[in-house]
Amino acid sequence: MAEVHVTPETFVNVFFEADEIRRIATELLDQIGLDVDLHLEIDESTPLGRVDVVSLDPVTIAVQSGAFEDKKGPRRLGPVETADNLGRILFKVADRLDPEFGTPPPIDEVLPLPLYVAWDTYAMGRLARLGHKAQRQRRLYAFQLRHGFTDVADAVFDRLWQAESLTWDEIVAASDEARAVIDAA
């Protein structure tokens, strides 16, 4: 059984509870089918919302506390926000650990933004099918910002959002297809 480690165990700058974060993370791991120990390193000193995989062995995710914050209750843990942001990243971890997925860059920082957003779309579509909020319209807008406000980009977004099983090369090809329209203009 996977273990979830949360650092810090006790929060001072935000009103988070490590046990609640562990519960949400454990539920997501089960739903995604990811059987790995998970280390969550939460930086509670910033309201920013970045979430990054910093290691796959062991799986370690660095989280700025704003990513888990309730949007209507500053400094309070938002279960929906936590599940959306953590679920998105855990799907990307599962992809990276699946040899059939292919070989994306090992860390998100080196991904060009259009590819990062295309992969997010694929991850969030799967998360939505698990019953999570996933904010489809927000994700569509982010996709359009990087791939153009075109019918082709919208169709590619829908394909990525609805896909059950893609490879890294298929995500790259989809992103390239959508960007080709704006690159040709």
Question: Is residue 5 over pLDDT 90?
Answer: yes
The per-residue pLDDT of the chain, averaged, comes to: 94
> Residue 140's pLDDT band (boundaries 50, 70, 90)?
very high
Residue 185 — pLDDT band, cuts 50, 70, 90? low
DSSP string covering 61-96, please?
EEEEGGGGEETTEEEEE-HHHHHHHHHHHHHHHHHH
Amino acid residing at 167: T
Residue 71 to residue 54: CA distance in whole angstroms = 25
d(CA 28, CA 168): 22
Q: Are the CB atoms for 40 and 5 separated by under 8 Å?
A: yes
pLDDT in tens, 14-35: 999 999 999 999 999 999 999 9
